[in-house]
Structure 1
């Protein structure tokens, strides 16, 4: 197969040597020896093009076996990561062939194995498997020696998927490369930006560090985009998105380490019903009136009896439970029959419920155990739809995703102090304030 001698990133010399033209940010990632390397880059900053060279070197180093390339979805794989992978592994290195069915994979040929390891690798089969992170169960299989995760910061790349990948790498202590733009505040921010653990390296570079990124486009984006969006997508900095609904929630002030909740503290449960997504949050009230969200639940494909049994397990006694929309009485009846009495929420209006939960955070009455990753992930991203100028509108973006926060709204509406009137609440910001139509 023919290929260009120099495409700006790869260069094939007259002597047949392949050279990479890395910019400084890519060089920093290349020289990292950490087991987990997270490349956080601005759009078109050169993050995806860096993945195949890194994986090629990892295969050379770790030897024959299985390797992974994982993207949030297969359409995203086909759009960018797979073409970049095939350009290096097929066109430039001629290491084997890509097979699209029944399982997406790249099989390294005998010739490719000799090129990688000489005669020592000929007796082993080496395959690069392509997976998607929307379904964590699809990533549970045999062991792997290394993995490249592209666009791992997208909302559809679940924390459970990353955990499944790390389990596959555990036997060989395989290294993992994550390449992404900071799309939202989620598990990746918490794990790599906020409190990176041992043997973790975060490399950040802006779009403009890529020599191929036009300065004119950088300046256009800086002028045209809202500052938070420009910082996120071009400067690769985590910033709070516009229209964040629970802006009163502060990670430092409103989270805490888990502790044994005394059995005599009053307990409350919020429930959001669903055939595929049933979610719950558990709160306990301390003697000084502070509410601690100490447990979360999210499961599907179970009967009401099955959910009720799982929810009641480990709880010291009966809790006051609230859940469901006004029209979901059948769900409440089925949970009651299964032993969990779920009451109708005291308010049905979504915005009123949001204001009540917002007021709990604003008054420093609600804290979340930092082990409740799902709740924290949703709190960081629960926001309004924005217009073309980045101004928040009234509608909630991706409203159907926030099952745990719906559950919190159902129970939080009840937990405002008795005797507190609506005029005493700290209201959530009006998304339409200041806009003219």
Structure 2
């Protein structure tokens, strides 16, 4: 029996909840399509009817993602009504209590995580974002679901059509004790048309087909297929309200720094670039020399087209550095640079941020950024990674595009609203 919840449920959601009786029950499709609510309700109903034998587990990439994607929604009375009072959890704890039952929380962020399952017998399991957990963990979890009537509930957004979850399970549903339900954005009855339009503006290309249309499609060809020099390259710059810097560190590989500006016209601009290629110059620089070079570059910067009498120098709010460059980060702190910080290095999410801005004409590049302009057209998906069911760009000629990605994605909270403004204005500037 369904608990009394305030949210409207679609016919597809209700059907999936009522039929989630297979050994493996999988909800997949676009973001915010209602699959998570349906899967959580099905799981809670199973918890309420579970017998005393076997453990109850919730797994996800990390404990933090489990808290954010599973427990916090279950504890929200606006979503789950009176049921929310019966979900108890202390942040950071590896257990929760749902309807009086102890539920164990397991982070599965690497291949070693399957060891956390060895030796246990489980009755019920819920997996958040199943494509993000290692295949070995998933396989081990299924092996541990050996109590009578054991069931697995899982959700995921689509990934590559060659991903192990698609090839090994979804495509073999008829052979397995598996039921799956595919959700599209239109399947969520609680979303407003304005919100759907805003969400759709944040995704383009590969990500739009996956996250909005709910399709399992392959990454192929150019990463930034929307890149067009005629549209995206400018010779003059408007006044800037804010500046940030993104740095991709290199010793034998090129070192690149991109100055990113938020302009008065509501767009982001790659305003300037510092780049040093030790192979081309046959001269490697130390951390201290790179730090000094970046300081000089920023101190002497003058916006293109500004009169000769205009003052030089720009002070960025933050300097986002390649997180693997620990010694250089320390050097930048010691030299007093503007708020050095480790860049957000979620590659796929960062590429999506850059892609969305380029597609909406909210990110432009000044013609002086020679390294960036040479890399953007040829930046491509790695076909070998695609064959493995992974999305990864080729690691060649990617230093300036990485620096741009660091600056753009690390400041996403500052510019995300620009995509909504673009959508409302039908593509016109604000």
Using the size of structure 2 for normalisation, the TM-score is 0.47
Structure with higher helix content = 2
